[in-house]
């Protein structure tokens, strides 16, 4: 199994951010390709202008031209690659370890008053003293 993160940013920006965060996982750039659009996690200006985009297997109003998603691929013995799974939105919750703990406490995630569901999250170098 290989785990790879894909972002639309140019590779030099990805590498600089990865270094700043101290991350060591494989992170590649889809800059200049349709990859993120093909898997419905990035949206064109025309799509956004229509007020709804195809995200999470439905047409939805979406607040950003980028959304979270995960896709799984299988490469067989002859080198053919198959897209076997994708998940979006709340289907990714298991990947955010903090949610597992927040879901156990009395107020849960307490997201009702937040401008977006993960507004509480900061990069490690962006928290105050």
Separation between Cα atoms, residue 57 and residue 82, nearest integer Å: 19
The predicted-structure confidence for 19-54, as pLDDT tens digits, reads as follows 999 999 999 999 999 999 999 999 999 999 999 999
The contacts found for 56-63 with CB under 8 angstroms, 24 or more apart, are: 56/88, 56/89, 56/91, 57/88, 63/116
Return the sign of the alpha-carbon dihedral for residues 26, 31, 34, 37: positive
Q: Of 125, 51, 57, which Cα lies nearest the Cα of 89?
A: 57
Residue 84 has pLDDT above 90, yes or no: yes
* pLDDT mean over 58-66: 93
pLDDT for the residue 118? 82
Query: Residues of the chain with pLDDT > 70: what percent?
Result: 99
Give the confidence band of 96 by pLDDT, cuts at 50, 70, 90: confident
């Amino acid at each position: 199994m290989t785990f790879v993160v894909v972002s639309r940013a140019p590779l030099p920006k990805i590498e600089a951010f990865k270094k700043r965060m101290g991350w060591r996982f494989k992170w590649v750039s889809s800059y200049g390709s349709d990859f993120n659009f093909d898997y419905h996690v990035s949206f064109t200006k025309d799509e956004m202008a229509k007020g709804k985009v195809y995200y999470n297997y439905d047409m939805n109003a979406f607040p950003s031209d980028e959304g979270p998603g995960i896709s799984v691929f299988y490469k067989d013995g002859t080198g053919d690659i198959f897209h076997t799974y994708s998940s979006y939105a709340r289907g990714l919750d298991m990947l955010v370890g903090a949610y597992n703990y927040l879901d156990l406490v009395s107020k849960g995630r307490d997201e009702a008053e937040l401008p977006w569901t993960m507004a509480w999250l900061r990069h490690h170098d962006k928290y105050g003293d």
